[in-house]
Amino acid sequence: MIINFILFVFAATMIWAAISDLRFFILSNKLCLSVTGLYFVFVTALFLTGSAPSWEYIGWSFAIATGAFTILVALFAYGYIGGGDVKLIPAVLLWAGPALSLEFLLITTICGGLVALLTICCRYLKSYLSRAKSSENINFSVRESSELVSNEKNIPYGIGISAGGLYVTLQLYQALN
């Protein structure tokens, strides 16, 4: 019962991450720390119910998450990925463990790629339509126009990460019930 509740909270956190990234292009530190902290609560609950994974499995989970974090920090340093994505992917990889890591990364990549493609197409269409109505942009304040420019390259990749996280949640639920 408690394990199902923890999985529900994890799923709700993944949905919140998708919404937050879609609306504000932000995956906050609190969100990423919540996912990581909730993993420790989950593992503790598994130990208390007697269905805990082995220490080796938990160690591999941490090794995979740490390796992914190292690679993602390098990608962040070159500007290829956002800081929230760098923190959220390893946090979800803890949950995925060795058994679900590749599936999580595959689903995240496919869904994130589709979101990126859709975002780029929508931005292109918007810029194409705004060229026909050039006088419409005259009344932008300086703040509004600078916000448009700063968000122009952002892709809400948290949606793909959340889709992968929801897949992990479903697989864990099915394995434990």
pLDDT of residue 128: 86
pLDDT of residue 148: 47
The ranges of the chain with pLDDT < 50 are: 142, 144-149
Of 7, 163, 153, nearest to 80 (Cα)? Answer: 153
Q: Which residues of 134-148 are buried (b: 16+ CB within 10 A; e: fewer)?
A: eeeeeeeeeeeeeee
pLDDT of residue 139: 55
pLDDT of residue 149: 46
Whether the pTM exceeds 0.85: the reply is yes
CB burial of residue 109 (10 Å; 0-12, 13-18, 19+): middle
d(CA 21, CA 131): 28
> Over the stretch 10-35, which tens digit does the pLDDT of each residue have?
999 999 999 999 999 999 999 999 99
pLDDT of residue 152: 74
Helix (H) or strand (E) holding 96: helix 83-132
